[in-house]
Structure 1
């Protein structure tokens, strides 16, 4: 490290609240084995941030100066993954994985291969120091390290100050970092919503200038990030913020994101927070419910075949773009059509079969959330709730099939009993 470079801030054990009791037991085993074999062993990223904020991390990722091959030699239960970004995964009981990444750095221009097509793969696998690794990360609060050697917290980029200020700040120039990876724009909004932090003005200016780039990100990554929004119960506020910043149409290929749609998604966040896990088909149906209802107004005169056609017409482009499986698409379509049936009201032909349909309970759940956004539907919710709570025998009376008499073959008469 040169004399001009600022020294990292190091918080000793008695100046922070992280305890080894809060750290996953298997992660500690990995950290200690790396340390005993003379390697640097740090908890990195979001786990350190969450521990300092008093939250329980979901994952404990580990950074080290050991190469992936050296990590594999130390752990019999280790296997290497990734072609463009080589990582070590260490498997424990219950199919649990601990991810171990070697510290990386940005390569110098004179180190890059002559073939530009090889640059991306090369850039991802140039090993470096912890400080160089910290500067490769996206936000300052995600670049904090916990050193198992002395239980200290190490900050190279000002993340501790930003944690205290409750601020999301980019490492480096946001314009450059968003060009490198447009998904960082969505992640910035996600962290601000999850942690209730403010966004640095430079990030907001960068999103304003580079928002169209989000459409160039890999659909698989966008799909996973949107599911993360639902899992973290922040899909509503983040998509609302995306709309305010003009990013939403670029994120979801022209998706309008009306006030009612955003409000419905916020209701689903509350449902997830109550302990109900989110399913992707349910999330897709919620995204497009308002658009579906507008394009196919519920009426007894509209046949179900037309509703099915409209539902497919609306969700198929989304599902094809994000390579969503047929089963998930089928679920989303059935939920939309189920809401259409519920919105038409009771007493229409086919009601008994509909009450026993396997997707009807989920359709009713989505329709009930929709009624919280549209109070004029609450009376319908009450009517359907009473119908769904009736015993099965009252919904569909059983009809006994006529008993078929066995026909005797000619000449095979039994002798009469005397």
Structure 2
């Protein structure tokens, strides 16, 4: 990892920045020839925002994940800007700016689909929560003392991890490191800024963010960052289910779902998110369901890497399948009801239990139900049944789910081969019924939980002349 943080001077070649132990709470400034970030790597729209702020006399820095990813040789998902300009001052500079947020005011500078988020330097809270319980929370499960502006030093201290407290100045192209983030990147360590227990109590979701960054960046949690997690994991129960759903999408649909799942289990954070699933997990982690789940997560990661669509419905179908299977078997043995009925009851039980923890929107649970119910129908392919199933809107997703199941249950391989041959023989299903393996409903982690927009209703015009 060290080589990715090396400076590159075109005249003299790579120059290593000597790094030993992390330097905490000390501002370290690297000139342009001492780091590897180039303006060519930054989006044109982000540069427009940075330059205009600087020209107007304000401090302007590229900050956080964008800087971190550039240093690691990655392509940033987005670019965020930090400045000493207030949101109102930012809005005066940009006609394409909108202000959002109540807890902390942010400016979004909009360039078509590209949005550059601009935040004013955050200051310190006047009071720090040191109680044993998370208090003074908003509806989103966050503390309510954030709308305080400050200096860049205070802003860096307010950030969660050292590798996110890195600032690239557009004024002189220097890199500013406030908490040893460069050293931590080179050591491959994820380090929390401040006292970990206090920071986790301020916002328990920081524990999930720690796991997400570790899984995404291949970093190891430092001992002090990891130490309080096992004890504080139950605090996630205080976070609203809607927010946990959003966080779960970031955990599992960003392309690193499998290593993230393994880290969640390692640090005791999987059970608070999926309590009924956690009851099925084994110490060795090699039960048929666990192997199926890992295969499904690896499949999703592969699709993200290939820039193919993924959908929460397919993901949650896999995550909760073991629960449905077990309950289905139990009801079949005890109730004497037809398999379709016991499966329906098992599905209802699994979803109703899960949405108490993660508020999965109904538009996804509807698709989840269809994928599961079709698992019972796919073996019944005689007569006209195969033709009807083939034209079902969720056939493709259900078939791919069946194929994943067959990877750990050899008894299903013959059924998968039959349906594959059927598809080869009959060609693509009707257009309305054909979906990608993840159902063709690709959504980002940020927008997947938003309700679908309704089209405005058109008023009927009355005929001229007073007609009724």
Deviation at 1:122, TM superposition (A): 6.1
Are residues 1:242 and 2:264 paired?
yes
Given that 1:63 and 1:103 are in contact with CA atoms closer than 8 Å, whether structure 2 keeps it comes out as yes
CA distance in 2, matches of 1:392, 1:35: 59
1:409 match: none
Count matched residues. 383
For residues 394 and 118 of structure 1, the distance between their equivalents in structure 2, rounded to whole angstroms, comes to 50
Are 2:394 and 1:359 aligned? yes
Aligned partners of 2:206, 2:30: CA distance in 1, in Å? 28
Partner of 1:173: 195
Note the alpha carbon deviations across 1:7-31, whole angstroms, 9 max, x for none. Answer: 4111111111111111010110010
Range 152-161 or range 187-196, more displaced: 187-196
Instruction: Report SS of the residue matched to 1:373.
Output: coil
Alignment of 1:143 with 2:165, yes or no, is yes
1:213 equivalent among 209, 224, 235? 235
Matched, 1:260 2:296: no
Question: Which of these two proteins has the greater Rg computed from alpha carbons?
Answer: 1
Pick one of 326, 350, 369 that aligns with 2:404: 369
Counterparts of 1:289 and 1:118, CA distance in 2: 34
SS in 1 for 2:344: helix
User: C-alpha separation between the residues in 2 aligned to 1:348 and 1:160?
Assistant: 65
Q: Deviations over 1:146-166 (max 9, x none)?
A: 000000110011101001111
Deviation at 1:123, TM superposition (A): 2.2
Gaps of 5+ in 1: 111-115, 396-418
- Structure 1 residue 205: Cα displacement: 1.1
Do the aligned partners of 2:276 and 2:323 also contact (CA within 8 Å) in 1?
A: no
Task: Give distance in 2, aligned partners of 1:153 and 1:230.
Answer: 32
Q: 2:317 aligns with which of 279, 285, 303?
A: 285
Does 1:126 pair with 2:162?
Answer: no
Is residue 131 of structure 2 the alignment partner of residue 101 of structure 1?
no
Equivalent position to 2:180, from 142, 148, 158: 158
Of 304, 320, 328, the match for 2:364: 328
Looking at structure 1, the residues matched to 120 and 315 of structure 2 have their Cα atoms a distance apart, in angstroms, of: 36
Q: For 1:333-352, what aligned pairs fall within 5 Å after superposition?
A: 333-342=369-378, 344=379, 346-347=381-382, 350-352=385-387
2:49 matched to which residue of 1? 30
1:307 to 2:343 alignment: yes
Q: For 2:369 and 2:359, how far apart are their aligned partners in 1?
A: 16
In the TM superposition, residue 313 of structure 1 has moved relative to its aligned partner by 2.3
- Structure 2: give runs of 5+ residues left out of the alignment: 1-23, 129-134, 282-289, 431-468
Q: What are the within-5 Å matches in structure 2 for residues 38-53 of structure 1?
A: 38-53=57-72
Q: Which has the higher relative contact order, 1 or 2, with Cα contacts under 8 A spaced 6 or more apart?
A: 2
Whole-angstrom distance in 2 between the partners of 1:195 and 1:38? 35
Q: CA offset at residue 327 of structure 1? A: 2.0
C-alpha change, 1:391 and 1:351, in structure 2 (3 Å) is closer
Name the CA distance, whole Å, in 2 between partners of 1:58 and 1:69: 26
CA distance in 2: counterparts of 1:66 and 1:208, whole angstroms: 40
For the pair 1:295 / 2:339, whether they are aligned, the reply is: no
Partner of 2:445: none
Return the offset for 1:87: 0.5
Contact 1:13 1:152 in 2 (8 A): yes
CA RMSD in angstroms, aligned pairs only:
2.7
Q: Counterpart in 2 of 1:203?
A: 225
Change (3 A) 1:172 1:241: same
Tell me the distance in 2 between the aligned counterparts of 1:73 and 1:46: 27
In structure 2, what is the equivalent of residue 19 of structure 1? 38
TM-score (norm 2): 0.76
1:228-259 superposed Cα distances (whole Å, 9 cap, x missing partner): 12332222222222223322221224432632
TM-score, normalised via structure 1 length:
0.84
Shift in Å at residue 222 of structure 1?
A: 1.6
Specify whether residues 243 and 144 from structure 1 end up closer, same or farther in structure 2 by C-alpha distance, changes over 3 A only: same
Corresponding residue SS for 2:304: helix
**Higher mean displacement: 237-246 or 33-42:** 237-246
Which among 73, 78, 103 is matched to residue 54 of structure 1? Answer: 73
Please show how residues 43-82 of structure 1 align to structure 2 within 5 Å: 43-82=62-101
Over 3 Å counting, the alpha-carbon distance change for 1:206 and 1:218 in structure 2 is: same
Quick one: distance in 2 between partners of 1:77 and 1:339?
49
Deviation at 1:167, TM superposition (A): 0.6
How do 1:104-119 residues align onto structure 2 when only pairs under 5 Å count? 104-109=122-127
